[in-house]
Amino acid sequence: MKNLPALIITFSIFGISFAQKSESELLENYDFYVEKNIEMGKWSTKYYLTNGLVSVQENYWKNELRSRKEFKYDKYGNVERETNTFDINEGQINDISNLKLEYDATLLVRKEFDFGMTEKYSDFNKLGKPKLIERMEEPDIKAWPYKELIEYDKNGNVIQSIEFGIYEDLNGKIINEKATTNYKYDDRNNLIEIHREYEPKREFPIPITGGPFLYEYEYFRYKYNKNGLWTKKYKTVNGKEYLVAKRKYK
């Protein structure tokens, strides 16, 4: 069975922003910003902006371009098309992924992906954010999580996410899992604390393919520029703090 855990984690990044209040208003006067991912080595990403929204994303290893994507948004600011235009292994490409978005008035209630995944959003709060996400997939795709319950603060930031999913462990055993993640934010709506719990319990840290380890508790702090955008991001785990990312805005 096809397994898409990394895709499930990342496919909402440029869709609805449930995890954090949008930075788009603060970014409206910038053409682009570059974020260095110090935690993952020599990787950096350049984000080109149009009216505060990311229109192009370029990923670099050291100074070498590895991939490039373009994003098209609908009138509500949700991504409706993603086009891969460059890949280090293939050169110039034109790989288009369309998202079919369905609304009830101005509320996004359904999103269909080209690869066979569908997300349904419901139980909206007063800010118009969904408290329930349900994921459905084609028979050859294994989606995780298949259901997610979300709570928000007064600013629309996610303060708790409860995910229900099924996965196969290294021994081939099928596990039904409940993952609860609690979040806290600073006065600029940037994440400062994560607390994770799993049923059944899991050993921390948890390795993630292509990403940093997940810890039970993670803490963050930031340095900001005069416009309120963060320029340095620090992470603390097990009592040790280290710089994980830098940003430059132009």
Contact in structure between 107 and 113 (CB atoms under 8 Å):
no
What pLDDT is recorded for position 2?
Answer: 38
Give the type of residue at 169: D
Give the type of residue at 164: F
The per-type count for the chain, helices as H runs and strands as E runs, is 2, 21
Predicted TM-score (pTM) of the model is: 0.87
Contact in structure between 84 and 73 (CB atoms under 8 Å):
no
Residue 58, both tokens: 């370029």
For 249, other C-beta atoms within 10 Å of its C-beta total 18
What pLDDT is recorded for position 209?
Answer: 86
Q: Is 212 exposed, middle or buried (0-12, 13-18, 19+ CB in 10 A)?
A: middle
What pLDDT is recorded for position 22?
Answer: 62
Which residue pairs, CB below 8 angstroms and at least 24 apart, start in 48-56?
Answer: 51/24, 52/22, 52/23, 52/24, 52/25, 52/26, 52/27, 52/28, 53/24, 53/27, 53/77, 54/14
Cis peptide bond prior to 145, omega within 30° of 0: yes
For 98, other C-beta atoms within 10 Å of its C-beta total 14
What pLDDT is recorded for position 19?
Answer: 35
Bridge partners of residue 2, in order along the sequence? 141
Q: Tens of pLDDT along the chain (250 residues)?
A: 334 333 333 333 333 343 334 688 999 999 999 999 999 999 999 999 999 999 999 999 999 999 999 999 999 999 999 999 999 999 999 999 999 999 999 999 999 999 888 999 999 999 999 999 999 887 665 656 799 999 999 999 999 999 999 888 888 888 899 999 999 999 999 999 999 999 999 999 999 888 899 999 999 999 999 999 999 999 999 999 999 999 999 9
Distance (Å, whole) CA 194 – CA 177: 19
What pLDDT is recorded for position 110?
Answer: 98
